[in-house]
Amino acid sequence: MTTIIIKGEKIWTSTALQSNKMLLIARTKREDETARPIDGLSLFYTDLNRDHVEIRPIDKMGRKCVDSNQLFIDDLPVPKEDLIGEEGKGFRYLLHGLNAERILISASMVGLGRCALKRAAEYARDRVVFGRPIGMNQAIQHPLAQSWAELEAANLMAFRAAGLYDSGKECGLEANGAKYLAAEAAFKSCTNAVMTHGGMGYAKEFHVERYLRECLIHRLAPISPQLILSYLAERALDLPKSY
Ligand SMILES: Cc1cc2nc3c(=O)[nH]c(=O)nc-3n(C[C@H](O)[C@H](O)[C@H](O)COP(=O)(O)OP(=O)(O)OC[C@H]3O[C@@H](n4cnc5c(N)ncnc54)[C@H](O)[C@@H]3O)c2cc1C
């Protein structure tokens, strides 16, 4: 291989508008010529050459500090020096980073959830309705307390996964479990924070509407809750693969 020509499409490519380089995975061997479908994919670090790559930004609900794009790659020449590692092993290299990313996202979701709860508790202490702070009512307290417990449990799972990862041990179940628990707990915390603020939860001034919007991205990416549950069912409970 001296130069190879790559064609294809990729949706949800972050920061392409600012980038001169990209990490690109492409099939370099036909699937029917490999032992497993994950083989035959190669990883490249190559120029994002706009003569051969069309970038279309996606307008989206949050995460506005980072652009998200659709990429259309048309006969992009990639020199062989741009190959990372061995040809055909690209997907295996990518897998290596997935658990670390899940753990990182778990921690960020715990942080976002805590932040939402802090603002909700402050508001509940300050806001007086019918002569007393709304935070004196158990119907306000209990959802926030439940979210606190769920976030702290998710945090413990994230630290368990991080400990295994740092000691070089298998942590797929814990990393996925932590990402699932943390994203769901953060979503519930942010929703509870908006509801605690009543109408003002909908006003930008109190920030919690933004937290609710921003937590959704990590509920569904880089892996959705449904796909995590399928993975856990298969790997933790030895149930048959469902997809
Ligand atoms: C803002 C943003 C930034 C992103 N950034 C990146 C990035 O930088 N790099 C990157 O590679 N990707 C990125 N993504 C992509 C993201 O990882 C995917 O959108 C996400 O994993 C979901 O995949 P999908 O959109 O293909 O959903 P689909 O596969 O179309 O699924 C749609 C829904 O159906 C459910 N579903 C699908 N199959 C099953 C099944 N068998 N059983 C039960 N439920 C099922 C899914 O869980 C999901 O809820 C980004 C996405 C967003 C929104």
Give the residues across from 54 on adjacent strands.
72
Tens of pLDDT, residues 118-175: 999 999 999 999 999 999 999 999 999 999 999 999 999 999 999 999 999 999 999 9
The pair of structure tokens assigned to 87 is: 């040809």
R_g of the chain computed on alpha carbons: 22
Atom number of ligand 1 nearest to Cα 242: 41
Residue 96 has what pLDDT? Answer: 84
Indicate the average pLDDT of the chain: 97
Q: Which residue lies with its CA nearest to atom 48 of ligand 1?
A: 224
- Which residue in 31, 54, 101, 170 is the catalytic one? 101
Domains in the chain (CATH in brackets) are 3-88 (2.40.110.10), 95-237 (1.20.140.10)
Question: What percent of the chain clears pLDDT 70, i.e. is strictly above it?
Answer: 100
Tens of pLDDT, residues 44-96: 999 999 999 999 999 999 999 999 999 999 999 999 999 999 999 999 999 88
Q: What distance lies between CA 74 and its chain's CA centroid?
A: 28
Q: Is the CB of 223 under 6 A from ligand 1?
A: yes
Residue 1 has what pLDDT? Answer: 57
What is the rounded distance in angstroms from the CA atom of residue 143 to the CA atom of residue 113?
13
Average pLDDT over residues 109-120: 98
What is the rounded distance in angstroms from the CA atom of residue 157 to the CA atom of residue 75?
45
The pair of structure tokens assigned to 18 is: 């600012």
pTM greater than the 0.85 cutoff: yes
Q: Is the CB of 216 under 6 A from ligand 1?
A: no
**Annotated catalytic, 209?**
no
Residue 211 has what pLDDT? Answer: 98
Q: Is the CB of 130 under 6 A from ligand 1?
A: no
| Sheet hosting strand 68-79, strand order edge to edge | 3-14, 68-79, 53-57
Question: What percent of the chain clears pLDDT 90, i.e. is strictly above it?
Answer: 97
